[in-house]
Structure 1
Amino acid sequence: MNYYLDVLKNYAGFSGRAQRAEYWMFTLFNIIAGAVLLIIGAAIHFPLLYGIYSLAVLLPTLAVAFRRLHDTDRSAGWILIALIPFVGAIILLVFLCQEGTPGPNQYGPRV
């Protein structure tokens, strides 16, 4: 839960690095929260509940993905590879799963 809150507190921090645990724990809590909101939205006949949540966490999600790419010593522009149908999302997933570079890199020290 701390990883989720730390990412939300640093919602506009696009510089620096994010370790695998920070990124994936944030993603896990995002999926859980989204599923719960989808169920609640369906139960109360308000399907926009999930959409509102998704819009609210869009900026923090992008920021932590940028920092995760920085940790693997890649430019944040690599996130655009996900726009390539099928293959792009798989390549981005591989990048996000890779271990970060040990020690400092061009994006800063490892936190």
Structure 2
Amino acid sequence: MDWYLNVIRKYTVFSGRASREEYWYFMLINILFTIVVGFIDRSMGWGHASGAGMLSGLYSLFIFLPSLAVSIRRLHDTSRSGWWALIVLVPLLGWIVLLVMMALPSHTDNEYGPRSTHV
């Protein structure tokens, strides 16, 4: 949970680096929260035909900027520009390429700063 809260504290920090652990633990907890919020939406009858409900929508709005920021910081950790995040706009292939980039190991100190450490 510490990883998740660390990313939330850096709500709109797009500079610097995010370690592989910080990124993936944040994403894991984010997915778990998304499932729980979706379950609450459905159990309260707030879901729509698309499956998204009121709480899911609010959570998505809340988590959008932190998710984008940690993704850009993760790309920085692999010595890539944050603009690489736009590769997701390429259907299917873009998501696969970004997934591979996020899974790559950290580089030593680079132009984006020293290697990040947890909290």
Matches of residues 83-94 of structure 1 in structure 2 within 5 Å?
A: 83-94=89-100
For residue 32 of structure 1, report the CA deviation from its aligned partner: 0.1
Instruction: Provide the rounded CA distance (Å) in 2 between the counterparts of 1:48 and 1:75.
Output: 34
**Distance in 1 between the 2:79 and 2:91 partners?**
24
Partner of 1:37: 37
> How far is 1:51 from its partner?
1.1
TM-score by length of 1: 0.97
Please list every run of at least 4 consecutive aligned residues from structure 1 whose deviation after the TM superposition is greater than 3 angstroms: none
* Residue identity matched to 1:20: R
For residue 97 of structure 1, what is the aligned residue in structure 2? 103
Q: Paired residue for 1:79?
A: 85
Give percent identity, aligned residues only.
48
Q: CA deviation at 1:45?
A: 1.2
Partner of 1:107: 112
Aligned CA RMSD, in angstroms, stands at: 0.6
How far residue 48 of structure 1 moved from its aligned partner, in angstroms, is 1.6
Which segments of 5 or more consecutive residues in structure 1 lack a partner in the other structure?
none
Q: Give the number of equivalent residue pairs.
A: 110
What residue number does 2:66 align with? 60
In structure 2, list runs of 5 or more residues that go unmatched.
47-52
User: 1: distance between equivalents of 2:93 and 2:41?
Assistant: 32
